[in-house]
């Protein structure tokens, strides 16, 4: 090739300037969405990747390439999904869904300055806790209350404020580990307390506690066994026995209720789950529980109990590091307010609504959806309606299962089919068990939204 030919060939293959490419009409929608800076970055990468190829000047290929490259940046990382796993409070999928009242309160708090720590009556500084404490005391019968980031923080704070450098007695049957590295022995260490284990895995007696109390004891702790049950030859000591013993020794009893609930779930035909009010009535001095489990609110850790102890906790510097922001406090306050009218909870609070949903209604929903899902699957898979058992999740009633109905999908390449459901605009998350993909419909609220996207189901290629 002559030198002149060579030069001409290079001129043809040299990419157009980045600025010129950025002016291509086919790229304008992407620039609108992602911003010019990111598109320029992608174009530089494109020019480098396609150097010497005839493709480099192809606007359509370039647009597709840049769109794929920028997709992770243009799309939010945290996306709404359909939780059809059968676990109502799914920790990995964000636990409780908020009531419309709580969503509105959070949005209002986001948009404007608020009285977060401001007392309108006298124009002075106010208390953050005052937005929720009156509701928490009213709903649990406790003298005082405070709220922090989550229940793990609440437990850490209570232990640290009451028992740092001292001993805390816990039954061996209650030394729980829950997901996400929350283990009672580790939390104790981090709080600066020494764990004194009493009893055995299956049986702990009042005398075990009594014998362990010594000059270094700062508290007795009870923990709700959230994700397991010890059955058979088992015994634990109820608060009604533990409290008199602790009183006689001048020690506080603290209880980590885990999920904790403010209402009796039996109202909706569910088995009994301990309520915070029962723990307080039994004489527990401090009770901690989560805001985003059965309570149905935003992530939070709630501490209720004796005034003097709650005040001690509120003064602890760690509390400042665990405090709630105005958005979550607004959502929490609005959620708690709904409990003033328990009769309407099942209609207003999505968590209670899902738990209270009767199986016949879920079955009817399955029957309505069956044709559309069958059509979307075509010859790739078959689908039927099957009775299944879901669960509450997040450590409430670990053994009791919720009778429900699911769409059960049978296919050769089940993993791939599950993946294609996860690639829908609103990903659909089910549960695979024994080579069947189950979509438990207890938690499906947006029926039209689910159906509308089915036609976009594409089975993922190899």
Ligand X SMILES: *Cc1c(COP(=O)(O)O)cnc(C)c1O
Residues that bind ligand X (CB under 6 A): 150-152, 155, 176, 178, 182, 223-224, 226, 256, 258-259, 290, 301, 394-395
Q: Closest CB to ligand X among 178 and 365?
A: 178
d(CA 288, CA 452): 42
For the CB of residue 291, give the shortest distance to ligand X in the complex, in Å: 7
Distance of CA 310 to the CA centre of its chain: 26
For the CB of residue 157, give the shortest distance to ligand X in the complex, in Å: 11
Supply 82's token pair: 């359909």
Q: Closest CB to ligand X among 199 and 301?
A: 301
Q: Closest CB to ligand X among 295 and 444?
A: 295
Q: Which residue is nearest to ligand X (CB)?
A: 258
Q: Closest CB to ligand X among 83 and 420?
A: 83
For the CB of residue 178, give the shortest distance to ligand X in the complex, in Å: 5
**Number of neighbours of residue 114 by Cβ within 10 angstroms:** 15
For the CB of residue 88, give the shortest distance to ligand X in the complex, in Å: 14
- Per the listing, tokens 């403010």 go with 262
For the CB of residue 176, give the shortest distance to ligand X in the complex, in Å: 6
For the CB of residue 94, give the shortest distance to ligand X in the complex, in Å: 12
For the CB of residue 153, give the shortest distance to ligand X in the complex, in Å: 7
Q: From residue 363, how far is each of 84, 93, 134, 440 by CA, in Å?
A: 14, 24, 41, 10
Phi, psi of 83, rounded to the nearest 5 degrees: -90, 95
For the CB of residue 148, give the shortest distance to ligand X in the complex, in Å: 10
Phi, psi of 237, rounded to the nearest 5 degrees: -100, 120
The secondary structure of residue 10, as a DSSP letter, is H
User: Residue 329, SS3?
Assistant: helix
Do residues 329 and 131 lie in contact, with contact meaning Cβ atoms separated by under 8 Å? yes
For the CB of residue 398, give the shortest distance to ligand X in the complex, in Å: 9
- Per the listing, tokens 């243009």 go with 74
Q: Closest CB to ligand X among 256 and 278?
A: 256
Helix 133-140 and helix 326-338, axial crossing angle in degrees, nearest 10? 30
Residue 447's contacts (CB-CB under 8 Å, 6 or more residues apart) are: 365, 368, 369
Q: Closest CB to ligand X among 225 and 252?
A: 225
For the CB of residue 170, give the shortest distance to ligand X in the complex, in Å: 12
Residue 360's contacts (CB-CB under 8 Å, 6 or more residues apart) are: none
d(CA 152, CA 435): 36
Residue 86's contacts (CB-CB under 8 Å, 6 or more residues apart) are: 388, 389, 390, 391, 402, 404, 406, 431, 438, 440, 442, 443
Q: Closest CB to ligand X among 252 and 301?
A: 301
Q: Closest CB to ligand X among 47 and 221?
A: 221
Three state DSSP letters for 367-403: HHHHHHHHHHHHHHCEEEEEEEEEECECCECCCCCEE
- Per the listing, tokens 């929608």 go with 29
Q: Closest CB to ligand X among 89 and 373?
A: 89
Do residues 93 and 429 lie in contact, with contact meaning Cβ atoms separated by under 8 Å? yes
Q: Closest CB to ligand X among 284 and 457?
A: 284
- Per the listing, tokens 């284990």 go with 197
């Amino acid at each position: 090739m002559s030198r002149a030919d060579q030069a001409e060939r290079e001129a043809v293959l040299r990419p157009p300037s980045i600025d010129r490419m950025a002016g291509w009409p086919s790229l304008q929608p992407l620039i609108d969405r992602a911003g010019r800076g990111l598109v320029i970055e992608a174009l530089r990468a494109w020019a480098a990747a396609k150097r010497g190829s005839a493709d480099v000047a192809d606007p359509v290929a370039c647009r597709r390439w840049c769109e794929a490259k920028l997709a992770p940046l243009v799309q939010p990382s945290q996306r709404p999904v359909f939780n059809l796993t059968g676990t109502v409070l799914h920790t990995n999928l964000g636990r409780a869904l908020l009531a419309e009242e709580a969503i509105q309160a959070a949005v209002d708090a986001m948009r404007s300055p608020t009285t977060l720590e401001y007392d309108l009556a006298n124009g002075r500084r106010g208390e953050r806790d005052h937005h929720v404490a009156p509701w928490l005391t009213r709903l649990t019968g406790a003298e005082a209350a405070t709220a922090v980031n989550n229940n793990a923080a609440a437990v850490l704070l209570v232990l640290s404020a009451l028992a740092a450098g001292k001993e805390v007695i816990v039954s061996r049957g209650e030394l729980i580990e829950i997901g996400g590295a929350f283990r009672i022995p580790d939390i104790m260490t981090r709080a600066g307390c020494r764990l004194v284990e009493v009893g055995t895995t299956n049986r702990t007696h009042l005398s075990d506690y009594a014998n362990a109390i010594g000059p270094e004891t700062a508290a007795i702790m009870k923990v709700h066994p959230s994700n397991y049950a010890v059955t058979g030859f088992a015994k634990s000591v109820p608060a009604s026995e533990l409290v008199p013993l602790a009183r006689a020794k001048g020690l506080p009893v603290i209880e980590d209720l885990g999920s904790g609930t403010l209402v009796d779930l039996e109202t909706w035909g569910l088995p009994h789950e301990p309520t915070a009010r029962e723990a307080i009535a039994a004489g527990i001095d401090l009770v901690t529980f989560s805001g985003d489990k059965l309570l149905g609110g935003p992530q939070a850790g709630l501490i209720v109990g004796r005034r003097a102890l709650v005040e001690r906790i509120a003064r602890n510097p760690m509390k400042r590091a665990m405090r709630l922001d105005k958005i979550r406090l607004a959502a929490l306050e609005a959620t708690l307010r709904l409990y003033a009218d328990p009769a309407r909870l099942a209609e207003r609070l999505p968590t209670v609504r899902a738990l209270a949903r009767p199986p016949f209604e879920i079955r009817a929903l399955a029957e309505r959806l069956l044709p559309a899902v069958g059509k979307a699957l075509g010859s790739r898979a078959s689908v039927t309606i099957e009775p299944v058992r879901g669960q509450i999740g997040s450590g409430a009633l670990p053994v009791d299962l919720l009778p429900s109905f699911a769409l059960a999908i049978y296919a050769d390449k089940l993993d791939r089919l599950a993946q294609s459901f996860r690639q829908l605009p609103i990903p659909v998350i089910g549960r695979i068990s024994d080579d069947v993909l189950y979509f438990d419909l207890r938690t499906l609220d947006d029926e039209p939204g689910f159906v509308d996207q089915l036609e976009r189901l594409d089975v993922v290629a190899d």
